[in-house]
């Protein structure tokens, strides 16, 4: 290279602070939400939180701007949006700035459906009336009635639904192709939950964030003994029964790896993933008394108990007892479950409104003092 070329400094990128994350169901999205909330606090950003006592932005109704607390007064001045909503690009654009970065996450529909089955067993008629996931999949139409479609959304093509499309649509090539193209136009990046660490590195690069911004402890996961083993027949059946989600997943799994090869390269990716995992282990050693997630009955501080659903035992964490205040605060934010964190941010951003009732002991007070 000539001298002149070497004199040009690389342009440092600036952390993107206007970010919209479409939170999909059972896709490790609670862990991503925690990352987004911590980032918002670090940079003192405004989060588009659900209005009043809600914990999601109108879901499963299609999103409209007034589902956001304070939209009438705050207008288009939100930086971060990441609570559950059913995507509606025009309404989201009323809330988020023009230069907002849009991303979402998908998961392989096979483990996804099994996870939904356990988590939503009591809420979804199609799941409730079948003995187990394999029985449901042997003849889904026996249990799944389109008339109950609102209650049954978790039983079929849930990701397609979250993106704002009809989860009972015919799987027609022209239609699915058009939807995939539309999603590509609306979103700058689609992550893959099955490669979560790789996803975090890709996200870090795309947003120009630091490694510590994407460090996480896995949230809202469940104990292994509630996992039901799918038969090979069931696995094949999911691809047919949730064929819209299957196409969605295959398409974006491909573009995910293509994106990595074009922007980071597999070698750098591996180095950064190792770095991420090392930093994560370090933080777990600092913060956690057990070095891992524990079952709901073993969570000592009930304010840190995650919402429990269906037949799943949702895991949480115990923090070490003798942490100094600064470390305690960092650690608390890593492990605070979604509903509690939403309620806490709401209290900070909207101090004059009635606080969101989590139905659990009030959050620790020292967090209120910031």
Please report, in tens digits, the pLDDT of each residue of the chain (370 residues total): 555 556 666 778 999 999 999 999 999 999 999 999 999 999 999 999 999 999 999 999 999 999 999 999 999 999 999 999 999 999 999 999 999 999 999 999 999 999 999 999 999 999 999 999 999 999 999 999 988 878 999 999 999 999 999 999 999 999 999 999 999 999 999 999 999 999 999 999 999 999 999 999 999 888 888 899 999 999 999 999 999 999 999 999 999 999 999 999 999 999 999 999 999 999 999 999 998 999 999 999 988 999 998 888 889 999 999 999 999 999 999 999 999 999 999 999 999 999 998 875 444 433 333 3
Q: What pLDDT score was predicted for residue 223?
A: 86
* Eight-class DSSP state of 356: P
Spatial separation of the C-alpha atoms in residues 165 and 159, rounded to whole Å: 9
Look at residue 364 and tell me if it is in a domain. Answer: no
Residue 363 included in any domain: no
What separation in angstroms does the CA of 240 have from each of 102, 127, 167, 179? 29, 18, 13, 18
Give the number of domains in the chain. Answer: 1
213 in a domain, yes or no?
Answer: yes
3: CB partners within 8 A, 6+ apart: none
Q: For residue 294, what are the CA distances in angstroms to 57, 281, 359?
A: 30, 16, 21
- Which pLDDT score is estimated for 368? 37
Closest alpha carbon to 102 in 20, 207, 45: 20
User: What angle (nearest 5°) sits at the alpha carbon of residue 339, between those of residues 121 and 158?
Assistant: 40
Dihedral sign from CA coordinates of 51, 55, 58, 64: positive
Distance from C-alpha of 263 to C-alpha of 205, rounded to nearest angstrom: 9
Q: What is the pLDDT of residue 264?
A: 97
* Residue 227: predicted pLDDT: 92
Please tell me the predicted confidence (pLDDT) of residue 364: 42
Amino acid 7: pLDDT = 67
Query: 10 Å Cβ neighbour count for 6?
Result: 8
Query: Angle of helix 196-207 relative to helix 243-263, nearest 10 degrees?
Result: 60
Q: What is the pLDDT of residue 4?
A: 56
User: Is 369 part of a structural domain of the chain?
Assistant: no
Q: Is residue 370 part of a domain?
A: no
Determine the pLDDT at residue 360: 56
Q: How far apart are the first and last CA of the chain?
A: 51
CA distances, 50 to each of 57, 195, 353 (Å): 5, 29, 12
For residue 261, being part of any structural domain is answered with yes
Render pLDDT for 302-353 as a digit per residue (tens, 0 to 9): 889 999 988 888 899 999 999 999 999 999 999 999 999 999 999 999 999 9
Residue 98 maps to a domain: yes
What pLDDT, on a 0 to 100 scale, did the predictor assign at position 146? 80
CA distance 248 to 242: 10
Q: Per residue in 260-273, pLDDT tens?
A: 999 999 999 999 99
Give me the half-sphere count of Cα atoms (radius 13 Å) on the Cβ side of residue 231.
10
Nearest Cα to 342, choosing from 34, 119, 28, 35? 34
Closest CA to 84 of 171, 199, 164, 180: 164
Distances (CA, A) of 346 to 20, 74, 341: 18, 14, 8
Crossing angle for the helix pair 196-207 and 266-287, nearest 10 degrees?
Answer: 100
- The label of the residue with tokens 């700058």 reads 188
- DSSP one-letter string for 146-208: GGGHHHHGGGS-HHHHHTTS-TT----HHHHHHHHHHHHHH-SEEEEGGGHHHHHHHHHHHHT
* pTM as predicted: 0.93
Asked whether residue 6 is domain-assigned, the answer is no
Instruction: CATH number of the domain at 309, please.
Output: 3.40.50
What is the per-residue pLDDT across 273-285, written as a single tens digit (0 to 9) for each?
A: 999 999 999 999 9
242, burial (CB in 10 Å: exposed 0-12, middle 13-18, buried 19+): buried
Residue position matching structure tokens 């400094």: 9
What is the domain extent for residue 67? 19-349
Sign of the C-alpha dihedral, residues 5, 210, 251, 178?
A: negative
């Amino acid at each position: 290279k000539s001298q002149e070329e070497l004199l040009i400094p690389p342009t440092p990128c600036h952390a993107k602070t206007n970010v919209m994350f479409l939170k999909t169901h059972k896709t490790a999205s609670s862990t991503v939400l925690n990352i987004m909330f911590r980032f918002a606090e670090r940079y003192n950003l405004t989060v588009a939180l659900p209005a009043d006592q809600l914990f999601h932005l109108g879901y499963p109704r299609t999103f409209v701007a007034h589902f956001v607390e304070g939209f009438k007064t705050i207008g288009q001045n939100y930086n971060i949006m990441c609570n559950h909503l059913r995507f509606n690009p025009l309404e989201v654009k009323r809330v988020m700035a023009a230069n907002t970065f849009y991303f979402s996450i998908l998961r392989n529909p096979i483990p996804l459906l099994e996870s939904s089955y356990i988590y939503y067993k009591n809420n979804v008629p199609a799941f409730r009336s079948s003995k187990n996931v394999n029985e449901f999949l042997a003849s889904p139409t026996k249990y799944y009635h389109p008339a109950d479609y609102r209650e049954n959304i978790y039983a079929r093509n849930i990701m397609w639904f979250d993106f704002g499309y009809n989860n009972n649509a015919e799987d027609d090539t022209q239609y699915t192709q058009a939807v995939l193209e539309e999603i590509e136009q609306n979103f700058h990046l689609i992550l893959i939950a099955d490669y979560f660490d790789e996803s975090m590195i890709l996200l870090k690069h795309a947003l120009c964030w630091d490694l510590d911004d994407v460090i996480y402890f896995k949230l809202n996961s469940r104990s292994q003994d509630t996992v039901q083993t799918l038969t090979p027949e069931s696995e094949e059946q999911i691809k047919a029964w949730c064929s819209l989600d299957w196409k969605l997943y295959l398409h974006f799994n491909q573009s995910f790896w293509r994106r990595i090869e074009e922007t980071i390269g597999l070698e750098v990716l591996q180095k950064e993933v190792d770095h991420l995992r090392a930093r994560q282990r370090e933080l777990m050693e600092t913060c956690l008394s057990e070095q891992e997630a524990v079952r709901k009955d073993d969570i000592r501080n009930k304010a840190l108990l995650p919402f429990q659903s269906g037949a799943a035992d949702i895991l949480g964490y115990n923090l070490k007892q003798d942490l100094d205040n600064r470390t305690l605060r960092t650690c608390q934010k890593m492990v605070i479950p979604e509903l509690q964190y939403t309620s806490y941010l709401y209290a900070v951003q909207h101090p004059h409104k009635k606080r969101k009732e989590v139905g659990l002991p009030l959050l620790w007070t020292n967090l209120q003092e910031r």
